[in-house]
Structure 1
Amino acid sequence: MATERKKGYLFFVIVIYFFSFSLPSFISGAPHQQELDRIESLPGQPTVNFSQFSGYVKVNQKHGRSLFYWLTEASIDPATKPLILWLNGGPGCSSIAYGASEEIGPFRINKTGSKLYLNKYSWNREANILFLESPAGVGFSYSNTSSDLKDSGDERTARDALIFLLRWFERFPQYKHRDFYIAGESYAGHYVPQLAKKIHDHNKVSSKPFINLKGFLVGNAVIDNQYDNIGTVTYWWSHAIISDATYQSIRSLCNFTGTSNTPACDHAINYAMNHEFGNIDQYNIYTPSCAMPSDMSFNRSRRLKNILLRGRVYGYDPCTENYAEKYFNRLDVQRAMHANLTGIPYKWTACSDVLIKSWKDSQFSMLPTYKELIAAGLRIWVFSGDTDSVVPVTATRFSLNHLKLPVKTRWYPWYSGNEVGGWTEVYHGLTFATVRGAGHEVPLFQPKRAFRLFRSFLAGKELPKS
């Protein structure tokens, strides 16, 4: 009997020992779920030497809010490279439609939405890039509570993004202590510093889990309603888009200090857009505009008219958006990306008109948040494509000037190759740079210059003077 008990005990130990190597992924859920999120290959994708993952992270159990992500690991030595979270703005526009598919991601989509081809200046040459569709209702991200789509705003977006990160790091523990940066553009000028503040506040009160946030990078960013709007109208006038009379009319009728404009101010802005702008692409005033179907043209016009009327800026809408909508609505693409698992009752779109029309809270000025994060010692870079009339370089300069930061390195031209890439000024606590010839989506219009800027940001070095 004693011998039999020993044999039984030995067998039990062997079984436990064997399963200890195979069960943790099922017990903890994290490594197992990470592997389930692995993308084997996307339809029409060329051969690549980096790993990709995508899937959902639930951020609110009660309401059933889940955010969709796509991770493209670094193409060289990903284990030593930092992690970058990329956010697009809107509010209500997809980082997969824009950041991943037109700007900094490894792939571009052909005109028919049937094939992918490589982006020579993909940022995953230097970092692991995590694209997030945020908030719920954007792209593949969803909520089981329909009212969530009608009362989104800055605060909940930042809170859900923090929860997403904490849970994502549990699923991808290899990134937990990695240098971490946040980047984005346009209305992500709110999302990025607001999330950075959430992380900073979280780290102050909780040592675990700690997010190793090092800094952030934002382009053509919405910063301060008053100064942004004055700077935008000034850009229109200084670039001969509107007349002297209309410029004076807007400046006299609109003070931009409140959350809404007077009817007279709205009329002046409408007159400029309807009678003086002409058929230009406001996101890059020197490039041809895309010939779009009439319904898409109407939606785009409606977004543009809200630039100043409601103090918010909406996503870029070139023809490449059409290619993304063709590709990401394909069932084989959704299966490969583990997307739309619940059968979302609407088509995937680059921007959500529901969110655009029903945004509830929008921080009037990000300048106090900038001051707090500068004091916290984060690396902060702000850049501007200088041919964008939606959140133009003058708007950004007017806003940043009110931070009253001491100058560390005076204004100078920086170089990409043998050409001037733009101009820059380095302050104590913040670097500002322009990108010459770039529109609202800087990496779309000037990919090489944007990549050079990104490399300098990661290295913590000033942009090259020659």
Structure 2
Amino acid sequence: MNSTNTPFSVQTALASRVHRGNKNKEGTHINLKGFAIGNGLTNPKIQYAAYADYALDMKLISQSDHHNLNRDYEACQQSIKECSADGGEACASSYIVCNNIFQKIMNIAGNVNYYDVRKQCKGSLCYDFSNMEKFLNQKSVRKALGVGDIEFVSCSTAVYDAMQLDWMRNLEVVIPALLEDGIKMLIYAGEYDLICNQELTIFNMLFMYFTGNSKWVHEMEWSGQKDFVAASTFPFHVDNKEAGLMKNHGSLTFLKVHDAGHMVPMDQPKAALQMLQDWMQGKLGTPTGRTARQ
């Protein structure tokens, strides 16, 4: 199961539900082997705290801006706690409070592409999805997918609105149970994405500074956490060139993709294809933490 670049980790919730259904023998058994998250929002408490750090690191804001945004995060953190406890309107309020941090960064940064900070934003989604939309709306493709006359759109406002109350929920909490039962998880992220940021800087392959996606993965509590955190980071090669940095232990693999923003498959299609093929074949791994063949 793979889902790239959703605003929050729908694939995590789906994988957890499928796994729970399998264990409880509900309905038809689904042979779930693994799931992948690409530049996703999984743990809002950690990832919203990383906005200011990432924006400062990318020189989008000043040190004084960073200080002010960290004060705003205190209100965001409290609202996330209330969302977790009460749900409903508390989650709607948390969405507004926390996304105010992102909006302030954008007001300072200007017309920067929040999906790829190296670029300017063009169009309503900052990426050109016209080729994909044209392909997926062909009658032959619709027929092959069994979707009838449903029109494919790159970003559905109906889906967005329906799932907005889930935006600020922490979906990391369901992942350890999947890892413990051997369900493979791949977290990959383009290094220039602001909206679901991650940054990983290596010093002598031992010390790391990381924000966003990297941070929640490293802080997630599971039986392999210590070994994963202690694992060395190795280059991910495509055509004998370094295309990213990765580390893994057991069922968990993390990969930072070079020269990519939010949409890794669009920015680095060859690297993305090899990454997914290697992962699905059990070949994506480091010398000390190579994933087992499935």
Q: Into which bin does the TM-score normalised by the smaller protein fall?
A: 0.7 to 0.9
Matched, 1:356 2:141: no
How far, CA to CA, are the matches of 1:208 and 1:354 in structure 2? Answer: 28
The residue number in structure 2 matching 1:439 is: 261
CA contact (8 A) 2:35 2:184 kept: yes
Deviates more, 1:323-332 or 1:440-449: 323-332
Match of 2:227 in 1: 407
What CA distance in whole angstroms lies between the structure 1 residues aligned with 2:40 and 2:2?
11
- The 8 Å contact of residues 284 and 388 in structure 1, kept in 2 or not, is answered as yes
For residue 39 of structure 2, the aligned residue among 197, 220, 238 is 220
The 1:417–1:186 alpha-carbon spacing in structure 2 relative to 1, beyond 3 Å, is same
Question: Residue by residue, what CA displacement relative to the aligned partner does 1:350-395 show, whole Å, maximum 9, x if unpaired?
Answer: 2122332343541611221111111111111111111111111121
Tell whether the 8 Å contact from 1:410 to 1:425 is kept in structure 2 after alignment.
yes
Q: Equivalents in 1 of 2:37, 2:96: separation in Å?
A: 33
Q: Contact 1:189/1:218 (CA < 8 Å) preserved in 2?
A: no
What is the identity, as a one-letter code, of the residue corresponding to 2:160? I
Q: Show CA shifts across 1:6-42 (max 9, x none).
A: xxxxxxxxxxxxxxxxxxxxxxxxxxxxxxxxxxxxx
- Indicate the residue corresponding to 2:51 in structure 1: 232
Structure 1 residues 427, 212: closer, same or farther in 2, change over 3 A? same
Distance 1:438 1:383 in 2: 11
User: Could you report, residue by residue, the CA deviation over 1:232-256 in whole angstroms, capped at 9, with x for unpaired residues?
Assistant: 3211111101122221111012223
Match of residue 106 from structure 2: 273
Deviation per residue, 1:403-456 (Å, 9 max, x gap): 141225312222222211111121343111111111111111111111221122
Q: How far off its partner does 1:323 sit?
A: 4.1
CA gap of 1:459–1:188, structure 2 versus 1, over 3 A, is farther
Aligned: 1:458 with 2:280: yes
Question: CA offsets, 1:192-235, max 9 Å, x none?
Answer: 12111211121122276221111111111211111111123211
Aligned amino acid, residue 369 of structure 1: V
Indicate the residue corresponding to 2:178 in structure 1: 373
What runs of 5+ residues in structure 1 fail to find an aligned partner? Answer: 1-181, 301-316
Q: Is the 8 A contact 2:133 2:152 kept in 1?
A: yes
Q: Identical aligned pairs, as a percentage?
A: 22
Equivalents in 1 of 2:95, 2:30: separation in Å? 44
1:230/1:323 CA distance change after superposition, 3 Å: same
Aligned mate of 1:322, from 124, 130, 134: 130
Return the alpha-carbon distance in structure 2 between the equivalents of residues 231 and 212 of structure 1.
35
- Structure 1 residue 397 corresponds to structure 2 residue 214: yes
Question: What CA distance in whole angstroms lies between the structure 2 residues aligned with 1:390 and 1:280?
Answer: 11
Q: Which amino acid aligns with 1:374?
A: L
Q: Could you say which residue in structure 2 is the equivalent of 1:66?
A: none
Deviates more, 1:265-274 or 1:434-443: 265-274
In structure 1, which of residues 284, 288, 295 is the aligned counterpart of residue 116 of structure 2? 284
User: Counterpart in 2 of 1:419?
Assistant: 241
Q: Which amino acid aligns with 1:240?
A: K
Q: Cα gap change, 1:353/1:423 in structure 2, threshold over 3 Å: closer, same or farther?
A: same
Contact 1:189 1:219 in 2 (8 A): no
Aligned-partner SS, 1:388:
coil
Corresponding residue SS for 1:414: strand
CA contact (8 A) 2:248 2:285 kept: no
Separation in structure 2 between the aligned mates of residue 267 and residue 380 of structure 1, nearest angstrom: 31
**RMSD over equivalenced CA pairs, Å:** 3.0
Q: Does the CA-based 8 Å contact 1:219-1:384 persist in structure 2?
A: yes
Residue 383 of structure 1 is aligned with which of 188, 196, 199?
Answer: 188
Structure 1 residues 200 and 287: CA distance shift in structure 2, 3 A: same
Amino acid paired to 1:395:
G
Which structure has the bigger radius of gyration?
A: 1
Is the alpha carbon distance of 1:407 and 1:355 closer, same or farther for their aligned partners in structure 2, counting shifts above 3 Å? Answer: same
Residue equivalent to 2:88: none
| Paired positions, count | 255
Code of the residue aligned with 1:271 in structure 2: it is K
The amino acid that maps onto 2:176 is K
